[in-house]
């Protein structure tokens, strides 16, 4: 008698699509259980109207999903980190400084358009989730995250849990005022002198533009005369090369960041503050002076024990965190 052959059970690897939507760019990726990113999609998000923005998100997710499926993995859902204040009771994106999605039931709209389970959270909450679970703050229970890009996102973990506030609109550290008579904040924010307008990538560009007019005979001044666009990454590149205008602009942003850090340290006494976003490409040129400013202003003992560190996942922390959000919530 020949024994029956039992087919081997097939194990299907699942991926989730993580999406980090910022004020300027969109980054999506198919993320496996080991956090390996199997396919990345980058799109511009700046200046898009609402229908075009939604279509761009759908297109990016579909491209990442198709790449994951072609590699033999099943897509289980989508996590989206978006720069808004959320009402998690209703799933509505209540307020956005940079994007035309205010008042939208974003989670429901995306789920319908994508035909997949969807989890949505503030982009800063997603970024801090990645860094606490697997990144620069792994093992810490009390963590603040700042993501420095076009604006400044914030995430907060206390007692090992992401803290979103009563209805989900908390941890907006970018809109903490550090100069009550400072420049008007960006986009739809009604305030002045917010950390976002003083220490973001946009602030770096503004500070460089203010200074280069007084010092045109510099590498930055010559580059602008030749038609080079003034962007945060370009200012950072020139600062690394020693351009005096770029270095001054970076110093102004670093000091403003340090003022914000001192308030965070005094209020929350975190173990770790993680700095992410595109501006972190400046590295210690930004973080060193920011730490010194924080140490000169914050109270002991909190200032003496906090670690201010760059994000382990760099500018992909939001995307990785959005994928983790989808795995945990769906």
**pLDDT tens digit sequence for 27-36:** 999 999 999 9
Report whether pLDDT(325) > 60.
yes
Give the model's confidence band at 211: pLDDT under 50 very low, under 70 low, under 90 confident, else very high: very high
| Overall average pLDDT of the 185-200 stretch | 94
Name the burial class of residue 315, with classes exposed (0-12), middle (13-18) and buried (19+) by CB atoms within 10 angstroms of its CB: buried
pTM of the complete model beyond 0.85: yes
Query: Please, what CATH class does the domain formed by 16-129+317-329 belong to?
Result: alpha beta
Cβ atoms of 246 and 236 within 8 Å: the answer is yes
Give the model's confidence band at 2: pLDDT under 50 very low, under 70 low, under 90 confident, else very high: very low
Report whether pLDDT(185) > 80.
yes
Report whether pLDDT(9) > 80.
no
Using CA atoms in the order 179, 181, 185, 191, what is the torsion angle rounded to 10 degrees? 100
Name the burial class of residue 284, with classes exposed (0-12), middle (13-18) and buried (19+) by CB atoms within 10 angstroms of its CB: exposed
Report whether pLDDT(187) > 90.
no
User: pLDDT > 90: what percent of the chain?
Assistant: 85
pLDDT (0 to 100) of residue 12:
61
The CATH classification number of 140-311 equals 3.30.420.40
Contacts 24+ apart (CB under 8 A), 39-44: 39/63, 39/64, 39/67, 39/68, 39/71, 40/64
SS3 of the chain: helix, strand, coil, percent, to 5 = 45, 20, 35
Give the strand pairing for 152-158 and 143-148.
antiparallel
Report whether pLDDT(11) > 60.
no
CATH 3.30.420.40 domain residues, the chain: 16-129+317-329, 140-311
Give the strand pairing for 14-21 and 74-82.
parallel
């Amino acid at each position: 008698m020949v024994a029956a052959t039992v087919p081997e059970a097939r194990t299907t690897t699942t991926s989730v699509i993580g999406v980090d939507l910022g004020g300027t760019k969109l980054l999506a990726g198919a993320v496996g259980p080991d956090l390996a990113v199997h396919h990345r999609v980058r799109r511009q998000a700046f200046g898009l109207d609402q229908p075009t923005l939604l279509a761009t998100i759908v297109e990016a997710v579909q491209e990442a999903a198709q790449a994951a499926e072609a590699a033999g993995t099943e897509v289980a859902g989508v996590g989206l980190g978006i720069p808004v204040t959320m009402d998690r009771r209703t799933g509505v994106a209540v307020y956005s400084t940079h994007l035309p999605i205010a008042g939208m039931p974003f989670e429901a709209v995306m789920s319908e358009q994508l035909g997949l389970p969807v989890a949505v959270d503030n982009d800063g909450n997603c970024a801090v989730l990645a860094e606490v679970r697997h990144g620069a703050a792994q093992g810490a229970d009390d963590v603040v995250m700042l993501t420095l890009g076009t604006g400044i996102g914030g995430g907060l973990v206390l007692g090992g849990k992401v803290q979103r506030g009563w209805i989900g609109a908390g941890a907006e550290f970018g809109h903490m005022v550090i100069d009550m008579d400072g420049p008007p904040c960006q986009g739809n924010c009604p305030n002045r002198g917010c950390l976002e307008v003083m220490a973001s990538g946009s602030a770096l560009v503004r500070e460089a533009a203010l200074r280069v007019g007084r010092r045109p005979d510099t590498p930055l001044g010559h580059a602008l005369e030749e038609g080079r666009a003034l962007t945060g990454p370009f200012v950072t590149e020139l600062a690394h090369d020693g351009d005096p205008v770029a270095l001054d602009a970076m110093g102004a942003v670093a000091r403003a960041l340090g003022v914000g850090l001192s308030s965070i340290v005094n209020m929350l006494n975190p173990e770790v503050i993680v700095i992410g976003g595109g501006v972190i490409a400046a590295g210690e040129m930004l973080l060193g002076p920011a730490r010194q400013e924080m140490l000169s202003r914050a109270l002991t003992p909190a200032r003496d024990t906090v670690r201010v560190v760059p994000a382990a996942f760099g500018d992909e922390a939001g995307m990785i965190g959005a994928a983790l959000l989808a795995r945990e919530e769906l």
